[in-house]
Amino acid sequence: MTIYKPTAVPRTRYTSGSEYERQYNYSRAVLVGNHLMISGTTGYDYATSTLVGTAEAQTKQLIKNVENVLAQAGGTLADIVRVRMYLAYAEDYDVIMEVYARAFEGICPACTTVEAKLFDADIRIEMDMDAIIDVRS
């Protein structure tokens, strides 16, 4: 019997500088070819090491966090093709979707939204996303 060990796929890793990324060995995002996979992102403000309060404020900060990692990879929100949204509280849906709708106006990525218990009771929203980045430029 021959066992083949696959070689690692060439990838570029991006970080937010979050202590969690170092502690738990994951990346804010990973670019493989032109596919950027963005890890679950919250409304945590990495510059101030704080979690902003309301669902609306957390969603706005989350979008800023995603824009930052996209910029590192040479992309923008327009490159997002898939969003997975995890709401801690279903009653936050409308306010979160208002922020989301403004951010993704005209982009219209595929989107799934579920209510889920998140790891921190103060976190109201988490999203992970996929983008296709034009790496030729």
* Any domain includes 66: yes
* Any domain includes 71: yes
Q: Which long-range contacts (CB under 8 A, 24 or more apart) does 67-71 make?
A: 68/16, 69/14, 69/16, 69/28, 69/29, 69/36, 69/38, 69/41, 70/36, 70/38, 70/131, 70/133
What's the pLDDT band for 91 if we cut at 50, 70, 90? very high
* Any domain includes 4: no
**pLDDT value of position 2:** 55
What's the pLDDT band for 55 if we cut at 50, 70, 90? very high
3-state DSSP percent of the chain in helix, strand and coil, to 5? 30, 30, 40
**pLDDT value of position 4:** 57
- The mean pLDDT value for 12-35 works out to 89
* Any domain includes 6: no
Range of the domain at 107: 12-132
pTM of the complete model: 0.90
* Any domain includes 95: yes
* Any domain includes 24: yes
Q: Report whether pLDDT(11) > 70.
A: yes
Q: Report whether pLDDT(73) > 80.
A: yes
